[in-house]
Structure 1
Amino acid sequence: MKKKIAFATCVQLGLSCIQEIYRIGGNLDLLITLKDEKAKKKSGRIYLDDIATEHSAPLLKIDNINDQEVLNALKENQIDWLFIIGWSQIAKKEVLEAPTYGCIGMHPTLLPVGRGRAAIPWAIIKGLKETGVTMFKLDEGVDTGDIIGQGVINLDENTTATELYRKVDDMHITLISKYWDNIVNNNIILTKQNESEATEWPGRKPADGEIFSSMTMDEADKLVRAVTHPYPGAFYNNGDGTHRIWSAEINKDEGKIKLRDGYLIPIDYEIEG
């Protein structure tokens, strides 16, 4: 018997997964998203009204994933699995246990490396050669649940957040397509994460995008690439205002912004204030 599936998201990564589920002939029995006025400035924020209407799927708009109305809807619709993807709020035990078999999430690193926040910027700032996306069963920890599957994404010294976000989006689609039948037929194999290899990455704020003259060319270059669109951008403050930098080059001998071992040359930028 096919399982009844619900999907909670408010960002493009989740919408891409929903679109892929319908593209491969799957069905969703309940869609959950944030109320329209909430998280308007969240990177990649989307709305599910159109796709819910197109596929005649019930759509529940909420304040918090842990609200009683979520629990009620999961029980009333007899949901077997709930996907929670691109969702900042941590689902509590009651929500995780409300679907028959539990909840499934995705995280844009190769877990157990890079648990936590800001996975796309950190992968670039840390100069990783590869990252990826992990599909896993949610538990009460942060990104600690058993792994269903992973896909690897390669990075190089020119990779930007814009490019990596698109590759992460594509990998979400790939993993959904690969494991959908196993999920609906309750045929998934779970693999425990290796705690000895686990690392945690902290959240980032727009203020963390500031470029300082004490930085090396390598550090400044990575920061610009890491926080460009869809993130708030790197910035540099000088006498004539804040330079919001979306792309830049580095040069050892000359340029606009003096760094510890050379210069940063903004290419795509705006001057604010």
Structure 2
Amino acid sequence: MKMAFATCVQLGLSCIEEIYRIGGELDLLITLKDEKAKNKSGRIYLDEIAHKNNVPLLKINNINDQEVIETLIDHEIDWLFIIGWSQIAKKAVLETSTKGCIGMHPTLLPVGRGRAAIPWAILKGLKQTGVTMFKLDEGVDTGDIIGQGTIDLDKNTTATELYKKVDDMHITLISKYWDDIVKNSITLTKQDEAKATEWPGRKPEDGEIFNTITMDEADKMVRAVTNPYPGAFYKYGHKTIRIWSAKTDANKGEIKLNDGYLTPIDYEIEG
């Protein structure tokens, strides 16, 4: 069974490292060209691990490029992992690998299809989230499920902590299902469309703190978009406070909110 892996972020690199740690092999690595997505959260480069393991590395602009299809055919790839990749693979790519394509999504699908899964889990105040390994189809996070792992959250969980837990769960799922994938003995479970939800994408400007929001909302915002994300921010005059951690208080603080105050702890002043 010949395997390829496409990624450009840490979650995918962690999976690749785990595959080699457990004695697995990859026949092709695919990533974005060096100049693309330099500011993407968790952006990594695969040159070192490709060289270390003597595996071909293809650098591309888009996962649907004809070059990708031709390279998959040339290497006779059976399974293509596409993990930590924002571009949606189209039918031609999905069908080029003889067995198909496998992805992972940091929610318990069918809940939370779409973008920004880690920030949204915190913003929505979820007590539990997770990671789903699934076979890709033409939809967005709609394919049949291979396996899932759950992650607990509490009222203090930050994006930094959750990203690490999500990373660890990617490693756990790769390790758990690698042999089944190699032996082509995975069991696929269809998603329950009645339970499906979709979360929209988020932009850096969505992290702004306004005086009209509550302490709870401000606290969640700071925790949800701290590292590795762009950070929450508050504007005053011509300056901006970039907030990486903060505390709230009903009676005193530096930034007035609807029902109290927010005081930045770890922050930067811009402008």
Q: Which residue of 2 aligns with 1:219?
A: 217
CA RMSD of aligned residues (A): 0.5
1:63 to 61, 64, 70: 61
Change (3 A) 1:181 1:257: same
1:121 to 106, 119, 122: 119
1:19-48 C-alpha deviation (Å, 9 max, x unpaired) = 000000000000000011111110000000
Q: Aligned partners of 1:67 and 1:271: how far apart in 2?
A: 42
Matches within 5 A, 1:240-251: 241-251=239-249
**Larger deviation: 14-23 or 235-244?**
235-244
Which amino acid in 2 is paired with 1:6?
A: A
Q: Which residue of 2 aligns with 1:74?
A: 72
Q: Aligned partners of 1:269 and 1:101: how far apart in 2?
A: 48
Displaced runs of 4+ in structure 1, greater than 2 A? none
Residue 240 (structure 1) shift: 5.6
Q: Aligned partners of 2:185 and 2:265: how far apart in 1?
A: 50
Q: Which residue of 1 aligns with 2:170?
A: 172
> Where does structure 2 lack aligned partners over 5 or more consecutive residues?
none
Residue 160 (structure 1) shift: 0.2
Q: Which residue of 1 aligns with 2:195?
A: 197
Residue 63 (structure 1) shift: 0.6
Which amino acid in 2 is paired with 1:265?
A: T
Residue 242 (structure 1) shift: 0.4
Q: Aligned partners of 2:127 and 2:106: how far apart in 1?
A: 14
Q: Aligned partners of 2:258 and 2:69: how far apart in 1?
A: 54
- Report the TM-score, using the length of structure 2 for normalisation: 0.99
1:165-203 C-alpha deviation (Å, 9 max, x unpaired) = 000000000000000000000000000000000000000
Residue 82 (structure 1) shift: 0.1
Q: How many residues matched?
A: 271
Matches within 5 A, 1:228-243: 228-239=226-237, 241-243=239-241
Q: Which residue of 2 aligns with 1:143?
A: 141
Which amino acid in 2 is paired with 1:206?
A: P
Residue 183, structure 1, aligned to residue 181, structure 2: yes
1:23 to 11, 15, 21: 21
Match of 2:262, SS state, is: strand
1:265 to 236, 260, 263: 263
Q: Which residue of 1 aligns with 2:156?
A: 158
Match of 2:5, SS state, is: strand
Q: Aligned partners of 1:122 and 1:51: how far apart in 2?
A: 32
Q: Aligned partners of 1:62 and 1:237: how far apart in 2?
A: 38
> Where does structure 1 lack aligned partners over 5 or more consecutive residues?
none
Match of 1:270, SS state, is: strand
Residue 14, structure 1, aligned to residue 12, structure 2: yes
